Amino acid sequence: MLVEVAVAAAVRGTFTYRVPTELAREVSLGQRVAVPFGRSRRATGYVVGFPTAPTAGFELRDVVEVLDAEPPFTPKLVELIRWAEEYYLVPPGELLRAALPPGLNARGGEAGPERRGVEYAAPAPGAAEAVQRLARAPARRALLEYLLARGRIPVEELRAAFPRGRAALTGLARKGLVLLDQETPVARAGVLAGERVDAPVLAPSQAAALGELVPALGRFAPFLLHGITGSGKTEVYLNLIAAARAAGKGALVLVPEIALTPQLSGRFRARFGDDVALMHSGLSGAERHAEWTRLRRGGAHICVGVRSAIFAPVPDLAVIVVDEEHDPSFKQDDGPAYHARDLAVVRARIEDAVLVLGSATPSLETLENTTRGRYRRLTLPTRIDDRPLPEVHLVDLSRLRRGGHEVGPGLVSPELADALLTTLAAGQQSILFLNRRGYQTLVICEACGAEARCTECSVSLTHHARRGVLICHTCGHTERMSVACPACGGVRFGVGVGTEQVEEAVRAIAPAARVARLDRDAVGSADDTAALLARFARREIDVLVGTQMVTKGHDFPGVTLVGVVLADTALALPDFRAAERTFQLLTQVAGRAGRGAEAGRVLVQTFHPTTPAIACAATHDFAAFAADELAKRRRFGFPPFTRLLAVRIEGSEEGARRAAEALAHAARPLLSAELTMLGPAPAPIERIRGRSRWQLLFRASGPPALFRVHGALARVARRPPGGASVRFDMDPHAML
Ligand SMILES: [Zn+2]
Ligand SMILES: [Zn+2]
C-alpha cells in the first residue's frame, strides 16, 4: 500500500511512501504520520492521497508511525489544502502545519475534557465599591472593571479579552467580588433546536436578508452582506446559523481579531452554548487542541475564530461567515501566504455551504464579484432603531494654514478643540484617531539636514518623547534621543505628529479631562487593551486618543465625538490599495460615534478634502467611492481587473540584486501584452534588519499566466544566486 505524504517542511510537492502491513489499517486520508525524510530519520507528514504507483527515480521508504487515532483533517479539508497549495504556490506541509493548533503539532497530545455547559461571570453586588481597594492588584482590578462595564457574560468573552486573566478571575470569585454560575446543556436544549433566547426583534432589512439566506442552505451560495456600521449584521449571522443548526448542520465564523472584539465570541457562546468552539491566539495550544477535537468529534458544530480557523474541522459545514471581510488581517503575510476570505469561497464551494461576506466597506474585489453576478448582494441600509449615521464635517488644514492660522499643537485645529470642549461640557466622550504612534515621526538636524534613521532598515526613526528614545517601527531598534546631531553636533528638531503628541495637546486644551491613549506603546498586551476599553466603557475616561486600535470593536454609547486628527496618513503610501484602506478606516472610526441615545458627529482633518476616499467617507457614500476607485483600478490595470503575483527577494545587497536579476531573466521569455513584469526593483522599504529587499511584480488578466511564470522561476528560486531567499506571494496585499 502506498500513500502520498505532504511533509511539514519548506518543500514544494508531495512524496510517496510505503505503508507497512501492520500500519495499513490505521492509515486514512488527512492522517498525520511520521516518515523518514532527507537525512532526518523522522519528520511529520500528512496523508493527502493514495497513489497506485511510486514516483519513478525515488527510493521508496516506509511510514514509521501513525500519529493520531483519528485523522485531524477531513477529506474535504485535504481537498481545500491541496487547492491552496496549488493556488498560493506554498509547500503543502507548511500549510497543513499552520492549519493545525500548536497542541496537535506536538507529538501525542490528548484532548481535554468535553465541556459541560456555559460558564457565566458577573460582578457581585457591591463590587463597584471594591474596585478602589484593588489598586495593588492591577490584573484583578482590570478584570472586575471589565465585568462592571459588561454585566453577566460568558467566561469565554473574558478569556478572549484577558488571555492571562484566569488567576485573577479565580481570585475575584474567592473574594466574593465575582459570581460564577453554570448554565447546563439541558437548559440549552431549546437553543440547539433553533429556538432563540433573548433574540431581539429583527428589523425589516435583517428579516429580508434572512429571507434570501435561509432558503439557500444546502448548496453553494455566496452572498455579500453590505450593512452600514451599527446595522446589526451579527444578528443576521446568528439567525442564519440557528437555522442551519435546526437542520443539524455546522457553521464557521471568521473574525479579524478576537482580542479587540471579545463581545462577539461572548454573543455566540450566549446564544449557542457548548455548541461553539473558539479558535484564537488568546487560548493555549492545549485549549485550541481541545476545541479542534471537539469539532472533529461532533461535540461542537459552530466554530468562531481568526484567520487560521478557515481550516477548522467543522462537521456538516453549511454556513461560512467572514465578518469584516475587507479586513487586512485575513491575509497571512508570514509563513505560507494565503487569504482566509478567498479560501472561504473555495471551502464553501467544496462543502456546498452558504457563504456570507459581511462588511460596511466591502473590498473592491468582493464588490466586483457582485457586479459580475458571482455573489448576491444583500444590504442593511439603516442603523438599529433607526439611529442616524453621524454627521461628518471636514476640516481643511491647508486652508487654515493659507488663512494665516496656526493649526495648533498636536495638529488639533481650533475647531476640533472647540468640539472636544463642548463634548466634555455635555458629559460625553470623544475618540481621537491618528494612525501614527510616537511623538514626532521625523527628527532632523537644522545644521546639516541629516535625518535620524535606523542603521538596519531604510526608514526614519520615530521620536517617543515620554521614553526619551528614537524607535524604528520596522525592526524595533531603539536608541536614546539626543538633541545634538551625531554627525555634526548641530541642534535637531522633530516634525510630524504622532499619538503621543496628540495626547499632550488634548491635556493642554482640557486640563480637567481624563485622557488615555490606546496604541501599542501605551498598552503592552491584550489584557491592558481590554482593561483600558473597559474603563472607557464605564466612562472613567473622557477622551481616548489612539491608532487604528480605536476604530474597531466595542459599542460605546457615550461617544458623541470622533476626531480624525489627520486622514491623509495612509494616502501617500506606494500601495494601490491606499485609497481603499483610507476610506475603510475613516468609515469604521466614524461608525464609533452616535451609537447611543445621543447623536454623534465626526470631524475629519485633512490636507486633501476633495480626494474621493475622504470626501466620500464624509458623505457616507460607499457607492461613489467604489465607482471612482474601480474606474482608476481599471485604467491602471490593478485588481480586481487583473491578478498580481509578487516575488519577494531578501539577502545581502549584492545577493538580493543578483537573485532578482536572475529571476527577471528567467521570466522575460514569457512576457507579453497579457503578462507584464514590474521590476526587478528594490522594495519601497529597501532594507529591513540589515537585509536588502527586492521585488518583482507580475500582472496578468488571470491566474494561469501567473502559474506559468512561477513554473519558469521555480528552478531559480530554489537555489538563487548569491544565497538570497525567495518568496512567492499570490494576490499580494503588502506592497512595502
Ligand atoms: Zn547635523
Ligand atoms: Zn530598523
pLDDT profile of the chain (736 residues), mean per 10: 86 86 88 87 88 78 87 91 90 82 55 63 87 84 86 84 86 90 55 49 93 96 93 93 96 86 83 89 80 89 93 95 94 88 97 97 96 96 84 90 76 94 95 94 94 93 94 92 93 93 95 94 84 88 92 81 92 89 92 84 94 94 96 94 94 94 94 92 93 95 93 89 89 86
- Dist. CA 98 → ligand 2 center (Å): 28
Which residue type sits at 388? P
Ligand nearest to the CA of residue 443, numbered in listed order? 1
Buried b (16+ CB within 10 A) or exposed e, 493-515: ebebbbbbbbbbbbbebbeebbb
- Distance from the alpha carbon of residue 450 to the mean position of ligand 1, in angstroms: 5
- Cα 222 to ligand 2 centroid, rounded to whole Å: 43
Contact 261, 145 (CB under 8 A): no
Per-residue confidence (pLDDT) for residue 405, from 0 to 100: 72
Structure confidence at residue 107 (pLDDT): 47
pLDDT of residue 453: 94
Tell how far CA 596 is from the center of its chain: 27
Centroid of ligand 2 to alpha carbon of 463 (angstroms): 13
CB 350 within 8 A of CB 78: no
Ligand nearest to the CA of 447: 1
From the CA of 461, the nearest ligand is 2
Give the C-alpha distances (Å, rounded to integers) separating 685 from 474, 497, 561, 659.
Answer: 9, 21, 36, 18
3-state secondary structure 50-111: CCCCCCCCCCCEECCEECCCCCCCCHHHHHHHHHHHHHHCCCHHHHHHHHCCHHHHCCCCCC
Output the pLDDT for position 311. Answer: 94
**What is residue 368's three-state secondary structure?**
helix
Ion ligand 1: protein residues whose beta carbon lies under 5 Å:
445, 447-448, 450, 485, 487-488, 490
Measure the CA–CA gap between 620 and 607, rounded to whole angstroms. Answer: 19
Query: Distance between CA atoms of 721 and 658, rounded to whole angstroms?
Result: 6
Cα(250) to ligand 1 centroid in Å equals 64
* Alpha helices, H only, 621-680: 622-636, 653-667
Report CA(304)–ligand 2 centroid distance (Å).
36
Span from the CA of 473 to the centroid of ligand 2 (angstroms): 7
> Position 691: which residue type?
R
